[in-house]
Chains A and B, each alone.
Chain A
Amino acid sequence: MKSVVPIGILFSTQGPYGTVSRAMRDGAMLALEEVNADDRFDFRLEPHVQDPEGVPAAYLSCAQRLLREEGIKHVVGCYTSSSRKEIIPSFEKHDALLWYPSHYEGFETNDNVIYTGAAPNHHVLPLMDYVLRHVGRDIYCVGSNYVWAWENHRIVRELTQVSGGRILGERYLQVHDCDVDRIIDEILDRRPSFVLNMLIGESSYAFYRAFAEARRSHEALHDTVIGSCTLCEPELAEIGASACGGHLSSSVYFSTVETRVNQAFRDAYRRRFGERAVPCADAEASYNTVHLLARALTGTTPSEIEAVKRSLYGVAFAAPQGQVSVDSENNHSFLVPRLGVSRSDGTFDIVRESAEPVRPDPYLVWVDGTGVWASWNGRRRELTNRPRLRVIR
């Protein structure tokens, strides 16, 4: 008989970033069910689901319920950095592990956190390396008013200045704010070649829709490219077919990755969540996280987190994106950077792809920010024909 290992699942299914967070929970649940159906594991993962519903303060009470009242040692959860930071002290106090599957801005390594999402050298660096070489050097930055956008914009300012480019504007909206007209007007006025969109959730969807509307009536915006480090498949559906196509996205996973493992993942995801369900980077990250966790638990005592971590450092998981493993030096993951261009059908064309998993660099100390794609020597599909980036009507 299999033993039972309780696992906390901590994602918001509502709130301003509920779309992505739901996908994360779905990815985690799919992996959990796969592990439980797999005879190679002599334990069963028992999900204990908590939903903070996008309320920042609720993350702490949910985490405390899992750690203190239910005695759980492993929790998969969180999307925003603010929620992660809110609950980390509880994990330290209860000697538990937070398995954090989201991409984030980096500059953190906590012994009680396993970071399975993309680090800045996986997302913003490859995006800007491509943009500054192939799109343009007049950059406009817009983002949600918190650390994710603040820090990424700082990185972009530095990279742009080094390359001789200009930052034409830097604007912020509160996470809930969808009043994007002022920003669209400013973009129309300043005419950047590239708009870096670090808005998250509903604000971001409103921005893409308003931009598409403005582009329909202003010829000057036809060559302006929008790029993001978060845009993913379920968000394209939220934005709508008339506005979601032609945008750059930097991600370690797209549903259109052409591997056998990804084909199986896509099929399983559809079987589980409906024919129209399309997995995204955040769902894949959560899926990988639970599989990594299950492999790390094999042969260890779940409550001994140092032993689980030592076991984890020896695990390599054949993920939908490619081989994923965790760097013992910083608890972040080796991942495969890619660039995609969104299509109006809600998926992405992959135009750049690293040849192999890239070592995480959460403090950006190993990369000078120039020529990452050249050194990664991966798949290249030329994207110089600008019409590919236009809105597909």
Chain B
Amino acid sequence: MLCGAGRDRDVLTQQLQRLGIVPVVVDAMSEPVAQEPCDLVFIDVDVGRHSPALGGGVDIPQDRPVLALIGSDVPSAVEWVIEQGACGYLVKPIRGTGILASLVIACHVFEERTTSTRTISELRHRLKARQLVCSAAIRIIDVFGIGEDEAFHVLKIGSMERRTTVEDLAAMIVSGELSVQALGSDVEARRLRV
């Protein structure tokens, strides 16, 4: 909890304790939030926004859900909250009501965001490798004289047998690290099934 001493911090602390959560208060002026071992971060916007040049800047962790405590609707404050990647917010003055809901939603948003980010990253990688996979498939077609669907299937079986991804196997073939002939047994297995 990056939050100045006062009523808001007291209410939040009390409610978190009721929920079985151990609150750790961080002094923005002395220690970066990121170094605290915690599962969830609350940041009071009016404390967090203080200019880093004045020693009040905070190092916002990206690997944990962040909830902002907002005291004003001014767009500059909202912009700041968005820039910090907050997954939820509470409106000051803080009341006990709504803290649990905000907390659960923030954790859910964080999980979903983390999963989406990972999926998008994987898809980007596969998209980038698409040309390599096609090139590898064309070589397999040329060498073994099989059809397009069979070539992709061979790549799939080959990657499974070598415990790697289709994209990495394709890259090995295109770069010459693995000769196309080495996939002969996979082609045979495919032919026998056909």
Cβ–Cβ < 8 Å partners of B76 in chain A: 147, 150-151, 153-154
Given A57-B6, A150-B74, A85:B92 Cβ within 8 A: yes
Given A145-B54, A172-B53, A151:B93 Cβ within 8 A: no
Bitwise, A72-96 to B at CB < 8 A (1) or not (0) is: 0000000001100100010000000
Distance, CA A108 to CA B72, complexed state (A): 8
Distance, CA A308 to CA B56, complexed state (A): 44
Q: In angstroms, how far is the closest chain A Cβ from the Cβ of B48?
A: 12
Please state if B75 and A85 are interface contacts (CB–CB under 8 Å): no
Bitwise, B57-93 to A at CB < 8 A (1) or not (0) is: 0000000000000011111110100000000000011
Given A85-B92, A107-B74, A150:B49 Cβ within 8 A: yes
Q: Which chain B residue lies CB-closest to A364?
A: B75
Q: Tell me if A323 counts as interface (CB < 8 A to partner B).
A: no
Q: Tell me if B46 counts as interface (CB < 8 A to partner A).
A: yes
Q: Which of A135-152 contact B (CB under 8 A)?
A: 145-147, 150-151
Q: Tell me if A301 counts as interface (CB < 8 A to partner B).
A: no
Please state if B71 and A85 are interface contacts (CB–CB under 8 Å): yes
Cβ–Cβ < 8 Å partners of B77 in chain A: 147, 150-151
Q: Tell me if B35 counts as interface (CB < 8 A to partner A).
A: no
Q: In angstroms, how far is the closest chain A Cβ from the Cβ of B13?
A: 18
Q: In angstroms, how far is the closest chain B Cβ from the Cβ of A102?
A: 15
Q: In angstroms, how far is the closest chain A Cβ from the Cβ of B36?
A: 24
Please state if B74 and A151 are interface contacts (CB–CB under 8 Å): yes
Please state if A108 and B49 are interface contacts (CB–CB under 8 Å): no
Distance, CA A146 to CA B93, complexed state (A): 17
Cβ–Cβ < 8 Å partners of A107 in chain B: 72-75
The count of chain A contact residues (Cβ–Cβ below 8 Å) is: 20
Q: Which of A118-161 contact B (CB under 8 A)?
A: 145-147, 150-151, 153-154
Q: Select A147's contact among B53, B72, B79, beta carbons within 8 Å.
A: B72
Distance, CA A150 to CA B93, complexed state (A): 20
Please state if A154 and B93 are interface contacts (CB–CB under 8 Å): no
Q: Tell me if B50 counts as interface (CB < 8 A to partner A).
A: yes
Please state if A145 and B73 are interface contacts (CB–CB under 8 Å): no
Distance, CA A339 to CA B13, complexed state (A): 48
Chain A residues near B (Cβ < 8 Å): 57, 60, 81-82, 85, 89, 105-108, 145-147, 150-151, 153-154, 171-172, 174
A107-B72, A147-B71 are known contacts; what are 15 more A-B pairs with Cβ within 8 Å? A81-B72, A82-B46, A85-B92, A107-B73, A107-B74, A107-B75, A108-B73, A146-B46, A150-B49, A151-B77, A154-B76, A171-B53, A172-B51, A172-B54, A174-B54
Can you report 6 A-B residue pairs in the complex whose CB atoms are below 8 A from each other?
A60-B7, A107-B73, A151-B75, A151-B76, A171-B53, A172-B53
